[in-house]
């Protein structure tokens, strides 16, 4: 047992200095869903609601409806998150979903 404590103390409070590795910026939730370009330090131009929702002009109405339904379920859950960034992205996506629904299926 003494050997275990000794090895734990070495690993937790070792005398070797650990260099901090640079952490790569993680892709936002919107970027993960849309599989867009990798996140860089440059500001990207705002995307249209069609681009955010992944809707193309050639998609049939049923496919659009299913896509909007899936996106709404996903982002409606995120809208009540404690993380302010995640909550902001969810609000942006929910606005885009509403715009697409009104455009393709009329007023709600």
Q: Does a structural domain hold residue 29?
A: no
Nearest to 75, CA basis, from 55, 54, 96: 96
**33, 44 Cβ separation under 8 angstroms:** no
The structure tokens listed for 86 are: 């995640």
Q: How many CB atoms lie within 10 A of CB 38?
A: 8
52: in domain: yes
Q: Give a yes or no: residue 83 inside a domain.
A: yes
pLDDT of 34-44, one tens digit each? 554 555 556 56
Q: Residue 49 contacts by C-beta under 8 Å, 6 or more apart in sequence?
A: 95, 96, 97, 99, 100, 103
Judged against a pLDDT cut of 70, whether residue 27 lies above it is answered with no
According to the model, what pLDDT value does residue 105 have? 87
- For residue 56, tell me if it sits in a domain: yes
Per residue in 42-85, pLDDT tens?
A: 656 778 888 888 898 899 999 999 999 999 999 999 898 899 99
Residue 91: pLDDT band with limits 50, 70, 90:
very high
If phi over 0 gives left and psi between -120 and 50 gives alpha, with beta otherwise, what is residue 88? alpha
Residues shown for the chain? 108
Our count of domains for the chain comes to 1
In a domain, 17, yes or no: no
| Tokens linked to 44 | 């990207």
pLDDT on residue 64: 92
The answer to whether residue 106 sits within a structural domain is yes
Q: Does any domain span residue 66? A: yes
Whether residue 51 lies inside any domain: the answer is yes
Read off the pLDDT band of 99 (50, 70, 90).
very high
Which range of residues forms the domain containing residue 104? Answer: 47-108
């Amino acid at each position: 047992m003494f050997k275990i404590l000794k090895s734990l103390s070495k690993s937790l409070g070792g005398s070797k200095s650990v260099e901090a590795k640079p952490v790569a910026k993680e892709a936002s939730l919107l970027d993960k869903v849309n599989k867009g370009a990798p996140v860089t330090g440059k500001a990207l131009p705002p995307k249209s609601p069609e681009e955010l929702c992944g809707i193309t002009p050639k998609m049939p109405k049923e496919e659009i409806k299913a896509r909007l339904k899936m996106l709404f379920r996903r982002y409606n859950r995120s809208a009540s998150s404690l993380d302010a960034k995640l909550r902001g992205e969810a609000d942006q996506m929910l606005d885009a979903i509403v715009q697409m629904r009104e455009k393709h299926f009329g007023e709600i």
